[in-house]
Structure 1
Amino acid sequence: MSTLILATWTSNVINIYSSGLAFTNLGGLAETSRSKITLLAGGAGLILAAIGIMDHFMEFITALTITITPVAGVIISDYFICRTYKEVTSKFIWTGILSWLSGVAIMLFMDSEIKFILGIIVAAVSYWILKKLTGANHINFQQKKIEENEKV
């Protein structure tokens, strides 16, 4: 039993230290306050564990899976199908956000084993369709490089 406790202790010491470093850097705090932030993070972890946060862990992982998986469809569609390759300076690319939302909607309302794959496919296809409908400029990166080299 003591081996189990020591193994858990040594693993979680690194986790608490990492969270203290992360919160210190995230908050832009001085290096001298890192130990206090680490102690605070450890205390918050203890309180959350005592409350029973692990009872809701699978719900959290499911929410992450449903919301992150369609991003792959948008990225795949943008890179391999639409080939836009240009750097966009606007903060929101609405075609990407709407495509992502369509993939999330499919995954939320389906109760099938393949809903994750369908979420990626729906997000990719809707991104491609929205890019075609909005008349987005599809730039072939290789062709653009050749044209730039010819101008020089």
Structure 2
Amino acid sequence: MYKTLLVPLDGSATAQLALDEAAALARLSGARVHLLHIVDAMEHITGFEPPAVHIGDIRPRFLKAGRELLDRAAQALQAQGIASETTLVESAGERVSELIAAHAARIGADLVVLGTHGRRGVERLLIGSDAEQLARIAPVPVLLVRERRTAAG
């Protein structure tokens, strides 16, 4: 079945749902879960801070936050008896979907389990969908996990 599951995390509720789904699959198959967090430095630049402030103060903070996110997820898996590894990647302008696909190939993942926000219509056109792009380019199957909708929603 599955030996290596890749779970990209961004701190969102849907990423947590993906982690929960991956944990369930790992328990069933004995798979190892590889956790990935991608930091896009461009999201943390306003253009007003001097480079020294960005390098000495801002960058270390967002890298630390990414590491803490990965560590919390790894500890939660460990508490369930699931083996895991973590990787923090700093983007140099690449699309998140491309980085995830490349990482899946690099680690020999059997499946990528990804939380998706399920955007539709104009919002999807304006923002784009990394989940949709990943499903198209990934070298392995991609399981998209989204929030369950209520009957009213």
Q: TM-score range by the shorter chain?
A: under 0.3
Q: Taking CA–CA contacts closer than 8 Å with sequence separation of 6 or more, which of the two structures ends up with the larger relative contact order?
A: 2
* Structure possessing the higher radius of gyration over alpha carbons: 1
Q: How high is the TM-score relative to the length of structure 1?
A: 0.23
Q: How high is the TM-score relative to the length of structure 2?
A: 0.23
* Structure showing the higher helix proportion among its residues: 1
* Structure showing the higher strand proportion among its residues: 2
